[in-house]
Amino acid sequence: MACNALTIERQYNHCRKSDILFNKVVREYKPNVLFILSRYTDMFAVPETNSTSASENIVKEAANSLRKLSRIVTDHIFVLNAIPQPHAAFISKCDQSLREHHPINP
């Protein structure tokens, strides 16, 4: 199972210090270009309400990690799959609308 590189892992015990190890390896190799594959976890789920407080700390943590990495990586950092996964209820509603040939309204 893959671990998060941009944030402190809170979900899986085997990934507890993966962010520290990742930063250590990047400092050692000093790449010109860095690709980070972000994975979907509950931590990156879009909050149900309009409140951003649930995800605000995670976003700040990831931004801080990217800032640190940008001091090491000389050219570009690409974060793939950076968009949070939508809630299952949203996916289900869109799926049902598509199957019934109804327009999808935001």
Domain boundaries, the chain: 13-99
Q: What is the pLDDT of residues 20-57, one digit of tens each?
A: 899 999 999 999 999 998 765 554 455 555 556 656 77
Q: What is the pLDDT of residues 57-73, one digit of tens each?
A: 777 888 899 999 999 99
Q: Which of 8-12, 58-62, 82-86, 94-98 has the lowest mean pLDDT?
A: 82-86
Q: What is the pLDDT of residue 66?
A: 92
- Could you please report the per-residue DSSP string of the chain? ----SSS---S-GGGTTHHHHHHHHHHHH--SEEEEE----GGGPPPSSS--HHHHHHHHHHHHHHHHHHTT-SSEEEEET-SPPPPHHHHHHHHHHHHTT-----
Q: What is the pLDDT of residue 42?
A: 52
Q: What is the pLDDT of residue 24?
A: 94
Q: What is the pLDDT of residue 67?
A: 94
Question: Is 104 a residue whose pLDDT tops 80?
Answer: no
pLDDT class for 106, splitting at 50, 70, 90? low
